[in-house]
Amino acid sequence: MTQDNSSQDKAAGQNGGGDLFNTAAGWVLFAAGLGLGLSILSGKYFHGDDPQRPEKLGYVIEGAVEEGVAPAEMSMAEALNTMPAADLIAAGEKAFAKCQTCHTVDAGGANGIGPNLAGVMGGPVAAKAGFAYSADLKALGGNWDWDRMNDWLKSPKGFVAGTKMSFNGLGKVEDRAAIAMYLNSKGANLPVPTFVADAAAGAAPAEGEAAAPAADAAEAPAAEPAAATE
Ligand code: HEC
């Protein structure tokens, strides 16, 4: 009896060993398959051995100017002329939501964290009564015009290092133009610089020049070109 038992046990043991071996072999196969699969897959994504890398990295266009490579941002003058004034003002009013936490814009509005902005376009810098401006903004002097407002709204701290206007700036010239146009509708009403599309293809138009056809200049309250200061 005991012998029978033991031989049965032995058989069972062998059997079990066989299963174990099969299982292990199965895993090895599986792992190998997985490895192969992964290497095929990764080959699909990373063409390590394909000769796709160009011999020369980068390219040189002889005689090309830097601007030709990436399209340069449009000028303020162009941005101010991309749509009818009324549409631009409407867009500016919307975009002004970003400024409203700190600024009122209607005539007689209160100063908040920032000064009231009525008549700021064309008006003197840092001149609102009852607002404590930073020394740096006060030191800027002169008047707000299109170019200065463009630079200011692009990066207040870049334009006036010590300003206390905590605002990162507006990255898109379209937004800056719209807001400047909106501000301009709330006060001084500077003439919008004219923009001749053809000139953009060739030499960049000097905004100051474009803004001053003789007839306009007579009517317009001194829109001094930005070149005057700085
Ligand atoms: C977090 C508050 C804050 C936000 C947001 C803000 N401003 Fe100002 N702004 C100020 C402060 C403060 C000053 C005064 C800066 C100084 O004295 O240096 C100022 C000054 C100005 C001035 C100069 C005013 C003058 O009398 O010369 C203009 C123009 C202006 N901001 C426009 C804007 C516009 C447009 C926006 C929105 C795109 C905006 N600001 C967003 C706080 C803010």
Inter-residue contact 119 to 127 (CB < 8 Å): no
Mutate to test the pocket of ligand 1, among 93, 98, 101, 103 (most ligand atoms within 8 A of CB): 103
* 109 and 153 assigned to the same domain: yes
The answer to whether the CB of 99 is under 6 A from ligand 1 is: yes
Could you read off the pLDDT of 53-67 as tens digits, one per residue? 666 666 665 665 555
The answer to whether the CB of 208 is under 6 A from ligand 1 is: no
In a domain, residue 160? The reply is yes
Give the integer Cα–Cα distance in Å for 225 and 47. 56
* 45 and 75 assigned to the same domain: no
In a domain, residue 213? The reply is yes
* 150 and 191 assigned to the same domain: yes
The domain total for the chain is 2
Q: Whose CA is nearest to atom 6 of ligand 1?
A: 99
In a domain, residue 64? The reply is no
Mean pLDDT of 87-106: 97
Inter-residue contact 79 to 176 (CB < 8 Å): yes
In a domain, residue 60? The reply is no
The answer to whether the CB of 101 is under 6 A from ligand 1 is: yes
In a domain, residue 91? The reply is yes
* 121 and 216 assigned to the same domain: yes
Could you read off the pLDDT of 164-219 as tens digits, one per residue? 999 999 999 999 999 999 999 998 889 999 888 765 555 554 554 444 444 444 44
pLDDT score at 212: 45
**What are the φ/ψ torsions at residue 13 (nearest 5 degrees)?**
-60, -45
In a domain, residue 154? The reply is yes
The sign of the dihedral angle between the CA atoms of 181, 185, 190, 193 is positive
* 112 and 142 assigned to the same domain: yes
Atom index in ligand 1 nearest the CA of residue 101 equals 5
Domain extent at residue 24: 1-53
Q: Which residue has the tokens 């800027």?
A: 140
94 alpha carbon – ligand 1 mean position (Å): 17
Q: Phi-psi category of 191—alpha, beta or left, where left has phi over 0 and alpha has psi -120 to 50?
A: beta
Structure-token pair, residue 57? 């990295």
Could you read off the pLDDT of 17-64 as tens digits, one per residue? 678 778 877 787 878 777 777 776 666 666 656 556 666 666 665 665
* 46 and 92 assigned to the same domain: no
Residue 179 exposed, middle or buried by CB count within 10 Å (0-12, 13-18, 19+): buried
pLDDT score at 198: 64
pTM for the predicted model, two decimal places: 0.64
